[in-house]
Amino acid sequence: MPGGLCLEVCPAAAEGALRAPLIPGDRPRLAISPASCLYFKDQRSTLCQDICPEEAIDFDQAPRQVEIKADALVLATGFQPYPAATKERLGHGRVADVVTALELEQGLRDHGGPARPSDGRPPASVAFIQCVGSRERLGHNYCSRVCCGYALRLGRHLRARHGVAVSIFYMDLQSFGHALDDFMAAARQELNLIRSMPYDVYQGHDGQVVLEYQAVSGQPPVKGRFDLVVLSVGMAPNPDNPELAQACGAGLDHHGFLSSRPGVFVAGAATRPLDMAEVVAQASGAAQEALRYLEERP
């Protein structure tokens, strides 16, 4: 039974060891997540392998080398969301109710509403901190382009659908698109936009998260209290890009993103931070380049 037998027997299915997508037609139908799979932990459970009538699961499978001859190569390896825990100051992993925007969005998708990780209650106030892993002089010295847009949209969604009071801490709002001035006017009206970057995040006594920030220069810092703090993580290059670039002959820029070379074409957000529409455009362009390369080859 697809999505059945292995899911039913998996003792760690609730922790996400085995996942099935909810959109019909999404592939793969089922996937094992090594992070929570018991076999990857201590080889305790092979129940899914034993029960699968199709013998589709094989834990003993060894890596093997396969040789494929190809005239051109397309790298579409994407990006990684900036690992928020590396910014200890912002409390991810240290303060329970500090989550990344990705985690918030996953929660919204799976449970239909926002919830505080500490007690599962819906938050009444949420703060977004922008530029987590973007626009840093030492480190990721570029704007990730998408974070302001998603934070503003998530913020408006939280307010409209769940009645949450939303504050957004930012440097410069990087929002783009059609009807932008209307969108920004609505966002300014609905959200509390604060041009300041909190420099400390810690657990308050009352269960809330405290953000310290400077509102006006020369005046004492302000302490903001929120039920939930969301880190708007940026788009970081994959950590293995240097090895990949070397192995495939792709270009590597000083941020760690990839670029195309004759015969090796890089598509999508592996090249630079891009939003959804731009990724579509960029990747179609890369496909066209690859096509032309193949056509022009003798």
What residue ranges bind other proteins (CB under 8 A)?
Answer: 1-4, 7-8, 20, 22-26, 29, 53-54, 108-112, 135, 137, 141-145, 172-182, 184, 193, 195, 216-219, 272-273, 276-278, 280-282, 284-289, 292, 295-296
| CB of 195 vs other proteins, minimal distance in Å | 5
- Phi and psi (nearest 5°) for 234? -90, -175
Cα-based torsion angle of the residue sequence 180, 186, 192, 196 in order, rounded to the nearest 10 degrees: 20
Residue of 203, 191, 79 lying closest to 140 (CA atoms): 79
**Least distance in Å: CB of 65 to other proteins?**
29
Would you tell me how many other CB atoms lie within 10 Å of the CB of residue 283?
Answer: 20
Q: Please tell me the distance from the alpha carbon of residue 142 to that of residue 150, in angstroms, as a whole number.
A: 17
DSSP string across 102-143:
HHHHHHHHHHSS---TTT-PPPSEEEEEEEETSS-SSS--S-
Q: Closest approach of Cβ 82 to other proteins, in Å?
A: 15
CB 257, min distance to other proteins, A? 9
Q: State the distance between the two ends of the chain, measured CA to CA, in whole angstroms.
A: 50
Give 42 or 54: the residue with its C-beta nearer to other proteins.
54
Helices (H), 143-249: 147-162, 180-190, 241-248
> For other proteins, which is the closer residue by CB, 67 or 296?
296
Q: Which is nearer to other proteins, 20 or 85 (CB)?
A: 20
Dig out the tokens for 103 from the structure.
């985690």
Which lies closer to other proteins via its Cβ, residue 63 or residue 177? Answer: 177
- CB-wise, 209 or 236, nearer to other proteins? 236
Minimum CB separation of residue 41 from other proteins in Å reads 23
C-beta of 281: minimal distance to other proteins in Å?
4
- For the record, the structure tokens of 138 come out as 């030492």
Among residues 45 and 134, whose Cβ is nearest to other proteins?
A: 134
